[in-house]
C-alpha cells in the first residue's frame, strides 16, 4: 500500500463537522428567503449531510440594559452593585463580574424570566437586594462568549435600553451542522458551503480566483504575510465563532468564513511545520509559533500530508484544513480583513501555483455513467459554478480541476459532482443498461493473446513448461548462440550451469525433452512462452514448441504401435495453436536446424518465426529421436477479434481443378492470384493432390463455393472455373492438365 492509498483509507475513516448559522450564510449568499429546512434539504440532496438544524433564541424577558452606576458590595469584595437602565425602569442588580463598568450595554434577565437552567426571582446577595441577573451567552442557551457577563456592542445591531435580545439576529438564529467526509475539505468554510449551495440553487456565487501559474518549485503554494495592527473582534464575530466551536480569534474567523488558512506566526525564527521552503533569499515558515505576522496560506494538501507522514512532524489545529484542501486564493482573506476594517500592511508574499490537473471526458460517457442524458449546457453550467474550467471540443469536455478540489482525480469523480447537483431523485427510472467503453490496449491485447495461445496450445495437445531464464553459456555457444557481452554478464551466478541469460528457448526445451525421456515418456509435446535475451541484454518475448517421440499414446486402436511425430502433423498443431499462418521454404540458419526440413512461418506476408526438424547431430547430443521445433516471435502474434459474419442458407458445392504447374512454383503464388480476383462465391480453397509429370507437376486444387443469394447452378460454376483458369494462365502460365 503506497502513501496515497494510506491517506485515502485514513480519509475514509474520518469526518469533520462544519457549523454555521443561517444568518451568517444569508450574509454571504442570497438565502434570506429560504427557510433553514429548505437549506438543509438542499445540502442533503447534494451530498453534504446535515447532522443538526437547531433554532435558538434569547428567552423572553432578557433585554438590553445600560449600566448607569456601579459600586462595590459592602460585604463582599468579589461582588458589585449595579444600577441598570432597562428602558422602563432602573434595576438594582448584584453581579460577581467585576469587569462590568458604567456605560456598558449588558443582557439583563428580569424577574420572572425563565432561563434554560433557572427562573429569575427577586433575591438578596449578602444582604443587598437584586432584581434580576446579568447574563453570559451560555445562560440563555448558546455557547459561552468570553468570560462572565457578555458586553454588548453595536456589531450585533442598534443598542438601546429595554430592547429584547431576541430581536438581535445573532441571538435569534438557527444552527446548521454539516458532517463532512474528509475529502470535502473545501466545505470547511462558509465560502465553500456557499459555492455548493449556490450551484444547486442557481444563486449568485461568491467569486474567487482559482489560480494557475507555473513556478520554479515542485511545491504548490500561495502565501502572504501581513503585519496586522491591534484589532479587537466585535461581539458578532466572537459569538459566531463560539457557536461554530472555534476559539475567538481573527485567524479562525478568516479560515471559517473564507477557507483561507490563517495563522499568526513569528516570521523571524525557524518554524516547525514543513521546516522551511527556500524562495530566493527569503524563507517561508508554515504554521509555526504564534507571533506578530498573520500568515495566509494555501499549500498543496498532498505535499503537506506526505511530508508529515514521512517525517513524523507535529501538527497544529490548522493542519486539518490545509491537508484536506483549503482555498487557494489568499486574497479572499485579505478582502475580509478590509471589510472588517482591520489595519494591516502586506509584507512578503510568495506564490508558486502549478497548473491544474486536467481531465477529458466524452459527453456521451457522462450520460452512460449516469444512465440518463443530461443536457450539455447544464453540465457545463454545473461544473463552471463549482469552479471547473470547461472547454467543449467536438464531443469531449476538457476540464481543469480547481485547486480547492484535490479529491477530484478522474472521470468518475467528475460525473459524481454532476449527479449530486442534478440530484439522484431527478433522474427518472429507466431500463437497466450496461455500457462500457472499449478497453482494448496494447498491454490488454498482449495478455489476451498470451492467454489464447496458451489455451489453444493445450487444446492441441501440448503441455506448457516454465523454465529458468538462466542457462549455461558453454552450451549455448556450442550451438552457435551468443550470450550477453562480458560487461553485461551476471556477476554472481547461482551455479555454473546458470551463468548467463538464455538467448533462446529451444535449448531449455531440449533439456526438458531429455529429462522426460529419461523418465520413460514416449510422447513429449511441450511449449513455452518466455523471454530471451540478446547479447546487449535486450529482451524479446518468444513462443517455442517442441515435439519428440510418438504422435499419440499407445492404445488398442493403434495396436500399441503409434506413428512417430512428423513435420506435417507438427506444423498443423503449431499453426492451430498460434491462430494460423502459412509455411514457406527456407534455409537453415543455426546448428539446431535440419538442412532440408526447415520452413519459415508467414502471416500477412510477414515472417513471424521458423519451424524445423532438429538436426540429427543435436538429436544425438540430447539422446532424442526425431524431434521438431518451432520458434515464433510473440510480438508478431495477435489473435484477430472474432466478428460474427452472416452465413448462407443455401448449400455449398465443391469443384476440383487439376492443373499443370512448374515444379519450382510455390502454392502461395497461386493463392495470391486467386484471392486477388475477389470472387464472392469462393469460400475457401486448398491443394488436395500432387504428383510429378515429365514437364512439371500435376496439382489438384479443391474450391468450396457458396452463394448468399441462391443455390448455385452449373452455369455459375462454369463461369467461376473459366475466371480462375484465365487468371492462372495469364499471370502464372498455368493450364488444365
Q: pLDDT tens across 414-445, in order?
A: 999 999 999 888 888 777 666 666 667 778 88
pLDDT for the residue 633:
94
CATH 3.30.56.10 fits 358-426, yes or no: yes
Q: Tell me the percentage of the chain whose pLDDT exceeds 90.
A: 55
Q: Residue range 225-248: average pLDDT?
A: 91
Contact between residue 29 and residue 197 where contact means Cβ atoms under 8 Å apart: yes
Residues 631-679 have pLDDT tens digits of 999 988 876 666 778 888 999 999 999 999 988 888 888 988 999 999 9
Q: How far apart are CA 136 and CA 155, in angstroms?
A: 17
| CB neighbourhood size of 117 (10 A) | 9
Is 303 a residue whose pLDDT tops 90?
Answer: no
Q: How far apart are CA 431 and CA 38, in angstroms?
A: 32
Q: How far apart are CA 669 and CA 665, in angstroms?
A: 7
pLDDT for the residue 7:
39
Q: How far apart are CA 716 and CA 713, in angstroms?
A: 5
- Fold (CATH) for 653-736: Alpha-Beta Plaits (3.30.70)
Instruction: Return the closest-CA partner of residue 498 out of 519, 476, 514.
Output: 476
413 Cα distance to chain centroid? 8
Q: Which residues partner with 500 through β-bridges?
A: 471
Is 582 a residue whose pLDDT tops 60?
Answer: yes
Helix (H, G, I), strand (E, B) or coil at 717: helix
Is 277 a residue whose pLDDT tops 80?
Answer: no
Q: Which CATH number fits domain 59-167: 3.30.70.360, 3.30.930.10, 1.10.645.10, 2.40.50.140?
A: 2.40.50.140
353 versus 458: which is more confidently predicted?
Answer: 458
Q: How far apart are CA 437 and CA 416, in angstroms?
A: 18
Which uninterrupted H or E stretch holds 594? strand 593-603
Q: What angle do CA 599, 600, 606 make, to 5 degrees?
A: 160
Question: Residue 306 is placed in which grid cell?
Answer: 506526505
* SS3 of the chain: helix, strand, coil, percent, to 5: 30, 30, 40
pLDDT for the residue 5:
40
Is 183 a residue whose pLDDT tops 50?
Answer: yes
Nearest-10 crossing angle of helices 190-201, 411-422: 70
Contact between residue 327 and residue 298 where contact means Cβ atoms under 8 Å apart: yes
Residues 90-118 have pLDDT tens digits of 999 999 999 999 999 999 999 999 998 88
pLDDT mean across residues, the chain? 86
Q: How far apart are CA 545 and CA 140, in angstroms?
A: 89
Q: Identify the weakest region by mean pLDDT among 49-53, 530-534, 561-565.
A: 561-565
Looking at residue 562, what DSSP letter applies?
A: P
What is the four-CA torsion angle of 234, 239, 245, 250, rounded to 10 degrees?
Answer: -10
Nearest-10 crossing angle of helices 363-370, 411-422: 60
Q: Identify the weakest region by mean pLDDT among 67-71, 222-226, 246-250.
A: 222-226
Q: How far apart are CA 258 and CA 21, in angstroms?
A: 15
Contact between residue 665 and residue 671 where contact means Cβ atoms under 8 Å apart: no
pLDDT for the residue 306:
79
- How far CA 223 is from CA of 107, 220, 260, 285, 436, in Å, comes to 41, 10, 10, 10, 44
pLDDT for the residue 435:
62
Query: How would you classify the pairing of strands 123-125 and 62-73?
Result: unpaired
Residues 500-540 have pLDDT tens digits of 899 999 999 999 999 999 998 989 999 999 999 988 889 99
pLDDT for the residue 434:
65
pLDDT for the residue 271:
40
Which uninterrupted H or E stretch holds 474? helix 473-478
DSSP per-residue string spanning 517-545: HHTT-SEEEEEEEEEEE-TT--EEEEEEE
179 versus 735: which is more confidently predicted?
Answer: 179
What is the four-CA torsion angle of 312, 317, 319, 324, rounded to 10 degrees?
Answer: 130
Would you list the domain boundaries of the chain? 59-167, 358-426, 444-636, 653-736
Instruction: Return the closest-CA partner of residue 192 out of 31, 320, 28, 45.
Output: 28
pLDDT for the residue 3:
33
Sheet of strand 396-400, all strands in order from the earlier edge strand to the far edge: 358-362, 396-400, 389-393
Is 302 a residue whose pLDDT tops 50?
Answer: yes
Contact between residue 49 and residue 420 where contact means Cβ atoms under 8 Å apart: no
Query: How would you classify the pairing of strands 49-57 and 90-95?
Result: unpaired
What values do phi and psi take at 462, rounded to 5?
-85, 155
Ramachandran quadrant class, 371 (left: phi over 0; alpha: psi -120 to 50; beta: rest): left
Question: Residue 549 is placed in which grid cell?
Answer: 517421440
3-state secondary structure 165-229: HHHCHHHEEEEEEEEEECCCHHHCCHHHHHHHHHHHHCCCCCCCCCCCCCCCCCCCEEEEEEEEC
Q: Residue range 328-339: average pLDDT?
A: 92
Question: Residue 510 is placed in which grid cell?
Answer: 531440449
Those residues whose C-beta lies under 8 Å from the C-beta of residue 77, and which sit 6 or more positions away, are: none
Q: How far apart are CA 37 and CA 452, in angstroms?
A: 60
Question: Residue 595 is placed in which grid cell?
Answer: 538442412
Helix (H, G, I), strand (E, B) or coil at 592: coil
Is 275 a residue whose pLDDT tops 60?
Answer: no
Q: Tell me the percentage of the chain whose pLDDT exceeds 70.
A: 91
Looking at residue 372, what DSSP letter applies?
A: S
Residue 2's pLDDT band, with cuts at 50, 70 and 90, is very low
Look up cell 498460434; give the residue. Answer: 578
Contact between residue 262 and residue 225 where contact means Cβ atoms under 8 Å apart: no
Q: Residue range 605-615: average pLDDT?
A: 93
Instruction: Return the closest-CA partner of residue 369 out of 421, 411, 430, 422.
Output: 411
Instruction: Return the closest-CA partner of residue 92 out of 76, 108, 77, 114.
Output: 108
Q: How far apart are CA 383 and CA 416, in angstroms?
A: 11
Question: Residue 211 is placed in which grid cell?
Answer: 489560480
Contact between residue 243 and residue 303 where contact means Cβ atoms under 8 Å apart: no
DSSP per-residue string spanning 604-653: TTEEEEEEEEEPHHHHHHTT-SSEEEEEEEGGG--PPP-------SSPPE
Residues 129-179 have pLDDT tens digits of 999 999 999 887 889 998 899 999 999 999 999 999 999 999 999 999 999
Q: Encode burial over 563-592: b for 16+ CB neighbours within 10 A, e otherwise.
A: eebebebbbebbbebbeebbbeebebebeb
Is 721 a residue whose pLDDT tops 70?
Answer: yes
Q: How far apart are CA 402 and CA 294, in angstroms?
A: 25
Residues 539-550 have pLDDT tens digits of 999 999 999 999
pLDDT for the residue 216:
58
Instruction: Return the closest-CA partner of residue 360 out of 396, 407, 385.
Output: 396
CATH 3.30.930.10 fits 444-636, yes or no: yes
Query: How would you classify the pairing of strands 293-299 and 221-228?
Result: antiparallel
Residue 213's pLDDT band, with cuts at 50, 70 and 90, is low
Residue 388's pLDDT band, with cuts at 50, 70 and 90, is very high
Instruction: Return the closest-CA partner of residue 94 out of 74, 112, 114.
Output: 74
Q: Taking the CA atoms of the chain, what radius of gyration do you get in angstroms? A: 43
Instruction: Return the closest-CA partner of residue 327 out of 276, 398, 254.
Output: 254
Question: Residue 655 is placed in which grid cell?
Answer: 469443384
Q: Residue range 621-635: average pLDDT?
A: 93
Is 289 a residue whose pLDDT tops 60?
Answer: no
pLDDT for the residue 642:
67
Residues 466-500 have pLDDT tens digits of 999 898 989 999 998 988 887 787 877 878 888 88
Amino acid at each position: 500500500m503506497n502513501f496515497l492509498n494510506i491517506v485515502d483509507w485514513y480519509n475514509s475513516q474520518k469526518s469533520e463537522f462544519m457549523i454555521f448559522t443561517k444568518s451568517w450564510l444569508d450574509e454571504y449568499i442570497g438565502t434570506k428567503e429560504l427557510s433553514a429546512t429548505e437549506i438543509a434539504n438542499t445540502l442533503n440532496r447534494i451530498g453534504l449531510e446535515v447532522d443538526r438544524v437547531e433554532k435558538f433564541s434569547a428567552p423572553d424577558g432578557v433585554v438590553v440594559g445600560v449600566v448607569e452606576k456601579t459600586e462595590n458590595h459592602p460585604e463582599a469584595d468579589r461582588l458589585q452593585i449595579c444600577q441598570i437602565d432597562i428602558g422602563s425602569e432602573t434595576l438594582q442588580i448584584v453581579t460577581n463580574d467585576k469587569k462590568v463598568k458604567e456605560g456598558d450595554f449588558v443582557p439583563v434577565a428580569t424577574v420572572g424570566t425563565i432561563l434554560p437552567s433557572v427562573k429569575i426571582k427577586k433575591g438578596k446577595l449578602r444582604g443587598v437586594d437584586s432584581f434580576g441577573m446579568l447574563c453570559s451567552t451560555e445562560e440563555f442557551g448558546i455557547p459561552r462568549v468570553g468570560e462572565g457577563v457578555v458586553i454588548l456592542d453595536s456589531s450585533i445591531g442598534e443598542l438601546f435600553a429595554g430592547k429584547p435580545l431576541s430581536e438581535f439576529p445573532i441571538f435569534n438564529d438557527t444552527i446548521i451542522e454539516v458532517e463532512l467526509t474528509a475529502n470535502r475539505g473545501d466545505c470547511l468554510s462558509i465560502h465553500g458551503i456557499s459555492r455548493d449551495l449556490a450551484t444547486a440553487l442557481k444563486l449568485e456565487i461568491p467569486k474567487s480566483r482559482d489560480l494557475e501559474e507555473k513556478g520554479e518549485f515542485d511545491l504548490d503554494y500561495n502565501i502572504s504575510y501581513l503585519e496586522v495592527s491591534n484589532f479587537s473582534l466585535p461581539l458578532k464575530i466572537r459569538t459566531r465563532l463560539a457557536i461554530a466551536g472555534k476559539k475567538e480569534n481573527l485567524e479562525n474567523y478568516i479560515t471559517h468564513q473564507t477557507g483561507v488558512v490563517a495563522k499568526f506566526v513569528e516570521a523571524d525564527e525557524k518554524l516547525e511545520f514543513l521546516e522551511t521552503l527556500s524562495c530566493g533569499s527569503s524563507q517561508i515558515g508554515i504554521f509555526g509559533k504564534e507571533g506578530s505576522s498573520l500568515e495566509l496560506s494555501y499549500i498543496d494538501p498532498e505535499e503537506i500530508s506526505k511530508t508529515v507522514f514521512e517525517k513524523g512532524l507535529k501538527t497544529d489545529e490548522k493542519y486539518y484544513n490545509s491537508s484536506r484542501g483549503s482555498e487557494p486564493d489568499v486574497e479572499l482573506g485579505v478582502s475580509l480583513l478590509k471589510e472588517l476594517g482591520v489595519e494591516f500592511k502586506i509584507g512578503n508574499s510568495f506564490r508558486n501555483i502549478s497548473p491544474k490537473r486536467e481531465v477529458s471526458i466524452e459527453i456521451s460517457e457522462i450520460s452512460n455513467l449516469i444512465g440518463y442524458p443530461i443536457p450539455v449546457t447544464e453540465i457545463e453550467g454545473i461544473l463552471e459554478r463549482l469552479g471547473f474550467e470547461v472547454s467543449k471540443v467536438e464531443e469531449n469536455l476538457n476540464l481543469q480541476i480547481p485547486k480547492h478540489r484535490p479529491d477530484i482525480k478522474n472521470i468518475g469523480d467528475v460525473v459524481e459532482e454532476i449527479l449530486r447537483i442534478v440530484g439522484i431523485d431527478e433522474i427518472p427510472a429507466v431500463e437497466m443498461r450496461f455500457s462500457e467503453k472499449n478497453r482494448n490496449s496494447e498491454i490488454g491485447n498482449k495478455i489476451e493473446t498470451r492467454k489464447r495461445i496458451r489455451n489453444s496450445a493445450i487444446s492441441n495437445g501440448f503441455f506448457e513448461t516454465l523454465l529458468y531464464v538462466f542457462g549455461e553459456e558453454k552450451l549455448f555457444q556450442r550451438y552457435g548462440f551468443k550470450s550477453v557481452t562480458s560487461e553485461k554478464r551476471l556477476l554472481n551466478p547461482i551455479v555454473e550451469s546458470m551463468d548467463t541469460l538464455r538467448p533462446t528457448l529451444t535449448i531449455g526445451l531440449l533439456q526438458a525433452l531429455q529429462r522426460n525421456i529419461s523418465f520413460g515418456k514416449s510422447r513429449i509435446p511441450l511449449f513455452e512462452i518466455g523471454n530471451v535475451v540478446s547479447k546487449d541484454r535486450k529482451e524479446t518475448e518468444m513462443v517455442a514448441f517442441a515435439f519428440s517421440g510418438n504422435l499419440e499414446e499407445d492404445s488398442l486402436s493403434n495396436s500399441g504401435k503409434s506413428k512417430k511425430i512428423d513435420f506435417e502433423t507438427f506444423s498443423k498443431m503449431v499453426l492451430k495453436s498460434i491462430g494460423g499462418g502459412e509455411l514457406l521454404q527456407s534455409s537453415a540458419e543455426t546448428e539446431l536446424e535440419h538442412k532440408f526440413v526447415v520452413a519459415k512461418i508467414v502471416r500477412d506476408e510477414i515472417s513471424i518465426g521458423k519451424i524445423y526438424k532438429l538436426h540429427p547431430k543435436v538429436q544425438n547430443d540430447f539422446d532424442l529421436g526425431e524431434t521438431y521445433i518451432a520458434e515464433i516471435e510473440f510480438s508478431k502474434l495477435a489473435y484477430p477479434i472474432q466478428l460474427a459474419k452472416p452465413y448462407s442458407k443455401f448449400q455449398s458445392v465443391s469443384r476440383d481443378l487439376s492443373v499443370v504447374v512448374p515444379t519450382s512454383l510455390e502454392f502461395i503464388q497461386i493463392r495470391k492470384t486467386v484471392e486477388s480476383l475477389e470472387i464472392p462465391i469462393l469460400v475457401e480453397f486448398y491443394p488436395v493432390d500432387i504428383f510429378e509429370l515429365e514437364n512439371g507437376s500435376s496439382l489438384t486444387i479443391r474450391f468450396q463455393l457458396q452463394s448468399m443469394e441462391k443455390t448455385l447452378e452449373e452455369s455459375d460454376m462454369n463461369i467461376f472455373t473459366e475466371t480462375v483458369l484465365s487468371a492462372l494462365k495469364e499471370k502464372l502460365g498455368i493450364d488444365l492438365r
